[in-house]
Chain A
Amino acid sequence: KREGLQTGADGSTLKWYNALQDSANQCAQASEDLSKAKDTQMKKLKMELQKAATTPVSQIANSSGSPLKEAFEKIDKLLSGRPVTSAGKSVSTSQHPQGLEFVSYRLAEKFVKQGEEEVASNHSAAFPIAAVASGIMEMHPKIGDLILAHLHKKCPYAVPHYPPMERGTSVEDYQRILGYRVDDSKVEGQDSFLKRMSGMIRLYAAIIQMRWPYTGKQGPHPHGLSHGWRWLAQILNMEPIADITATILFDFLEVCGNALMKQYRGQFWKLILLIIEEYFPRIEAVTSTGQMGSVTRLKQFLETSLRTKQISAPKSELGSAFFRS
């Protein structure tokens, strides 16, 4: 029987992670005729399909419910094989045998990129993106797996997984695996890296608690709060990593701590207690001066939670009034 904290994720977590990667790779391969097309006609079609899939995602904004609904409907229509119009041109996935695979892959990738680019600098952007994403995941479960696969590839901490350095991997490649941007053999700064990772963790935390309010479906969430439990339990079972663990734990709890508390009540508070009493000191032990920012934010959050016996709802969460607007 294993004792104490582990250095890596549980076997079942890694198996799930690998299965998601495999299925995403299969999807990429199964749409290669289209994605690697050389023929002009085919390239045109590919462009139109991609535009139809990704443009609505880039239009998701914080302003009100109805544009979100429009974006969702455009995507849903496309994935259902019906023709959609984008910039005056009509296109549908039925125009190519690989149309649906291609669109699915690109769409999932786009959700994650939008989170990476946007949520990093504007935390409140996580909610509208997550709302649409969770609606799409509900209607089209396969897209859900692809979104997760892309998210994991860009941010292994969303699994959560701390990839170990394998023999034969160059430092540069390893940095990439860890999620750093590396170009011309220059690796991005720690602050910028952490900001992007925060953005993606926040997107994930928003996805698992958001429900798309318009589908009228009553079924379970396609990737709901049970994954919030799983994520948190998995993180806390592993040795913390300097800078990263404190940062993502805080991001995650700030966004979906409230929802988890409501769902898992006493068991959730047991987690918080464990963090405060045993896990937090481990985080402090791996933190050096100059990295105190994220640790202090986490501590503040935990202390407030324990004192008030409450976890406040995230700022800028979208309420029902938003979706009526």
Chain B
Amino acid sequence: NANKTEEDDKDDKAAQSLLNKLIRSNLVNTTNQVEVLQRDPSSPLYSVKSFEELRLKPQLLQGVYAMGFNRPSKIQETALPMMLAEPPQNLIAQSQSGTGKTAAFVLAMLSHVDPENKWPQCLCVSPTYELALQTGKVIEQMGKFYPEVQLVYAIRGNKLERGTRLQEQIVIGTPGTVLDWCQKLKFIDPKKIKVFVLDEADVMIATQGHQDQSIRIQRMLPKSCQMLLFSATFEETVWNFAKRIVPDPNIIKLKREEETLDTIKQYYVICNSKEEKFQALCNIYGAITIAQAMIFCHTRKTAGWLAGELSREGHQVALLSGEMQVEQRAAVIERFRDGKEKVLVTTNVCARGIDVEQVSVVINFDLPVDKDGNPDNETYLHRIGRTGRFGKRGLAINMVDSRFSMNILNRIQEHFNKKIEKLDTDDLDEIEKIAN
């Protein structure tokens, strides 16, 4: 599908990854089992069910709990003991975003730092400035009770005087700047690095030059340095890159949880015009409790119109539209996640890749169709599907306004072999039933 690749290019991976980080406030549910490939299969395999078992420094255990965590996530159960082992072990870990990788390697970095030593000991490279910043925030939160440990960003724009010798124990940045700081500017002595983390490897290699720079950084590090690499996906190219960065690795994989419609209640509403759709929407709002909703429209024009109508009714509405820059989109998403706006109206193009699992109600104001006018099943699944069979339940409501869209709906229903129930939005009792 040529159309799709074009869109994918426009919406580059780093932006998607950032927006997903911003909208996420929860761990993603996983029911799959972790697969482990040990470098030394004869050594016993540890996995932990509680953070206590890891014998963390008390300041770090406090930091972990203060973040609201209760127990390790699936991937953390296995990854953390390996990362914290003595002697340190190298690790390649793959699991979808939202499963707790960042929290895991941040904990590993903080654990290995010697706060008495005032020089960089941990190096973490991220694909973009914004992603580095997100990781930095996690370091700050988790290290809240460990103020002796300091952090510095190696990013373009952070200009230090020549001859500077960094005192901070953790450096986080983008590959180009980190390389410069190690090689040309010598702010960092790479021989003193104990932990090297390469985050979002799949996003990294999508950017020209990053792969090369990362490998050049890695070559400067001592043999004893612990190498850790994380990726959400694992194609052949990522794998080849990973093996060049991480010698003798342990490998952990957590299969991506399939999105399913099993935990979703799907409905459709018959309307004759966009005004009627709007009325139906108002009725739904009056009948059930919607913490936050995401509404998809086919065109920018409809999205703009709908956002205007909803605002006029007093709703706090955010509009995410195609012409926005990544930073603007990020700002919209952050406000939405913080509850400053409760309804997010968007077109599909710009919401592609956004993880809607955080949102309890998804409304297809227009059904997703591809450019030939056929149902876009993949997009439908992505918009409303949920991962994890015992995860949060969700609600999806489709607006049907013509024979054409009814036909699309029927074909979507056939494709997934899951019934989409009819809903009469003029009947309060009926709408209330769907929320139970």
> Could you tell me which A residues sit within 8 Å of B by CB distance?
43-44, 46-47, 50-52, 54-56, 58-59, 61-63, 67, 70-71, 74, 86-88, 110, 113-114, 116-118, 121-122, 124-125, 186, 189, 191-192, 289-294, 296-297, 300
Contacts and interface: CB of A to CB of B under 8 A. Distances in A.
Nearest to A67: B316
B286 A59 contact: no
B360 A62 contact: no
Contact of A292 (B65, B279, B290, B316): B65
Nearest to B71: A290
A58 B49 contact: no
Nearest to B360: A117
A297 B287 CA distance: 37
A26 B335 CA distance: 41
A118 B285 CA distance: 15
Interface SS, B side: loop
Q: How large is the interface on B (under 10, 10 to 19, 20 to 34, 35 or more residues)?
A: 35 or more
B283 A51 contact: yes
B117 interface: no
A121 B358 contact: yes
Contact of B427 (A43, A55, A74, A125): A43
Contacts of A87: 278-279, 282-283, 313
B69 to A, nearest CB: 6
A55 B282 contact: yes
Contacts of B285: 51, 54-55, 58
Contacts of A117: 289-291, 360
Contact of B428 (A47, A55, A67): A47
B62 A86 contact: no
B164 interface: no
Contact of A56 (B314, B358, B428): B314
B283 A292 contact: no
Contact of B65 (A191, A192, A296): A296
A280 to B, nearest CB: 15
Given A46-B428, A87-B279, A114-B289, A71 B314 contact: yes
14 contacts: A47-B426, A50-B286, A55-B313, A86-B286, A114-B291, A122-B337, A122-B339, A189-B390, A293-B51, A296-B61, A296-B62, A297-B66, A297-B68, A300-B66
Top 6 A-B residue pairs of the complex, sorted by shortest distance between their CB atoms = A51-B286, A293-B70, A87-B282, A117-B291, A61-B316, A296-B65
Give the one of A67, A114, A116, A121 with max B CB within 10 A: A121
B7 interface: no
A219 to B, nearest CB: 29
B69 A293 contact: yes
B414 interface: no
Contact of A43 (B25, B315, B428): B428
Contact of B338 (A56, A62, A71): A62
A94 to B, nearest CB: 19
Contact of A113 (B51, B66, B289, B338): B289
A50 B342 contact: no
Given A47-B286, A290-B50, A62 B340 contact: yes
A211 B69 CA distance: 32
Contact of A55 (B66, B291, B314): B314
B283 A59 contact: no
Interface string B263-305: 0000000000000001100110111011110000000000000
A70 B283 contact: no
A67 B25 CA distance: 25
Contacts of B50: 289-290, 292
Contacts of B25: 121-122
Give the one of B51, B286, B314 with max A CB within 10 A: B286
Contact of B290 (A43, A58, A296): A58
B386 to A, nearest CB: 14
B26 A293 contact: no
